Amino acid sequence: MARGGIYKSEVIRARTKLLAQGINPSIDAIRAELGTGSKTTIHRYLKEIEEEEGGATGKKVSVSDAIQNMVETLAARLHEEAEAKITEANERNKTILAQKDAELATVRKDIEALKGVLADTQAALKDETAKHEEAARSFRNETLERTRFQQQVTDLQDRLAEEATLRQSLEEKHLQARDALEHFRQAAKEQREQELRQHDQQVQYLQSELKTLNQNFSQKLHEIMQANQENVRLTTELARVESALNTARTDLAQARNFKQDLDAARENESILQRRVVEQNSVVEELKTRNHALEQKVAEISEKMRQKEIELATAKAANATQEDLAVQFKRLMETISANGPRAKSDKQRA
């Protein structure tokens, strides 16, 4: 829009110069000559100059000239108002476009940030999934190891039961042998005591039967030797039983160690189960966060699409207003050009 601030003397000089060149001093011509100035101001100065010249020559202005001047004045005012409205609309559209661009840039930054968060979440989900699979493999290995330990414990328990049965049988045999030996010793002691009691009373009888007694004594000695041999055999059997008992005790200690290892394996299994449950919870939480982020990205994408539609609509409206402004400007220029030409033709006529 043309700026104001021109002086009447400048308009007079421009009008005089145009007249000297044989050019009609219209508003547009004077404005083009000055290079600045409002058409309303130029029209007002021209009207004053024409009134001054009309008063000096005593001529009256014709009705057609007055109408032409009024048309030019109205055209100039319409042109100024149109230019002001166009400028205001352009500024408003520029402001709106700048706001839309800023909003679009903000939305794009949010989308980029969310994409980064989504990528980090997906990476974390991938790591947690790998950890979950590793924990599952460890859980399976621990289960197999626990099964193997349980089988070993079962085998050792069976072996302990067999050893306990054998030990009980050997202990029963040992007790029976010990009872038999004790019974034999008691019988021999009673017999010796009885023989000693009867010795004084039956000396003559014993002398007569000394040979038989010696034979019986020899037989008893033989039986005692057999009993001693049986005692040695039972002592050897007892030593073997005690050795087997020690072996069984060693196996029992090993079984207890295996049981402790099994308890440790069960504790590790419990820890792994808790870790699996915790990792499953983390995986579910990450999946939920991933789903929420995807929904938020979809919402922001939809919002960005709406902003782009609004921006395109605003640009189309701006282009339409600019086209209307160009058409209106051309119309005003046509009216302004046709007005002075018609006036000039009337003057020549």
Q: How many C-alpha atoms does 48 have within 13 Å on its Cβ side?
A: 10
pLDDT band at 339 (very low <50, low <70, confident <90, very high): low
70-86 burial, b if ≥16 CB within 10 A, otherwise e? ebbbebbeebbebbeeb
| pLDDT for residue 342 | 46
pLDDT of 341 strictly over 60: no
CB 270 within 8 A of CB 139: no
Q: How many C-alpha atoms does 94 have within 13 Å on its Cβ side?
A: 7
pLDDT band at 348 (very low <50, low <70, confident <90, very high): low
Please name the residues in contact with 267: beta carbons below 8 A apart, sequence gap of 6 or more: none
pLDDT band at 1 (very low <50, low <70, confident <90, very high): very low
What does the alpha-carbon distance between residue 307 and residue 100 come to, in Å, rounded to a whole number? 7
| pLDDT for residue 248 | 66
pLDDT of 121 strictly over 50: yes
Q: Tell me the torsion sign for CA atoms 98, 99, 102, 104.
A: negative
Write out the H or E segment, with its range, that includes residue 108: helix 63-201
Q: Strand runs (DSSP E) across 34-186, as ranges?
A: none
Nearest Cα to Cα of residue 38 among 87, 81, 80, 84: 80
pLDDT of 205 strictly over 70: yes
Model confidence over 295-333: pLDDT tens digits?
876 887 787 788 778 778 877 877 777 777 777 777 777
94: Cα separation from own chain's centroid:
40
The percent of residues in the chain predicted with pLDDT above 70, rounded, is 83
Neighbour-count burial of 169, counting CB atoms closer than 10 A to its CB (0-12 exposed, 13-18 middle, 19+ buried): exposed
Rounded mean pLDDT, 42-58: 76
| Topology of domain 133-300, CATH | Helix Hairpins (1.10.287)
Higher-confidence residue of 94 and 199: namely 94
Rounded mean pLDDT, 161-184: 86
Nearest Cα to Cα of residue 268 among 137, 135, 142: 142
pLDDT of 66 strictly over 70: no
What does the alpha-carbon distance between residue 73 and residue 321 come to, in Å, rounded to a whole number? 24
Please name the residues in contact with 3: beta carbons below 8 A apart, sequence gap of 6 or more: 36, 37, 38
pLDDT band at 271 (very low <50, low <70, confident <90, very high): confident
Nearest Cα to Cα of residue 166 among 257, 254, 242, 234: 242
186-199 burial, b if ≥16 CB within 10 A, otherwise e? eeeeeeeeeeeeee
Please name the residues in contact with 39: beta carbons below 8 A apart, sequence gap of 6 or more: 2, 27, 28, 31, 76, 77, 79, 80
Q: What angle do CA 69, 79, 8 make, to 5 degrees?
A: 55
pLDDT of 2 strictly over 50: no
State which amino acid sits at residue 349. Answer: A
Residues written for the chain: 349
What does the alpha-carbon distance between residue 14 and residue 32 come to, in Å, rounded to a whole number? 9
Q: What is the pTM of this model?
A: 0.32
Q: Strand runs (DSSP E) across the chain, as ranges?
A: none
Model confidence over 221-270: pLDDT tens digits?
788 688 778 778 878 877 886 787 788 678 778 868 877 887 887 787 78
Neighbour-count burial of 89, counting CB atoms closer than 10 A to its CB (0-12 exposed, 13-18 middle, 19+ buried): middle
Q: How many C-alpha atoms does 315 have within 13 Å on its Cβ side?
A: 9
pLDDT band at 106 (very low <50, low <70, confident <90, very high): very high
Rounded mean pLDDT, 123-127: 89
| Domain chopping of the chain, boundaries | 8-110+310-348, 133-300
| pLDDT for residue 314 | 72
Model confidence over 255-264: pLDDT tens digits?
688 778 878 8
Angle of helix 210-348 relative to helix 27-34, nearest 10 degrees?
120
State how far the alpha carbon of 99 is from the alpha carbons of 6, 103, 105, 311, in Å: 38, 6, 10, 10
| pLDDT for residue 65 | 61
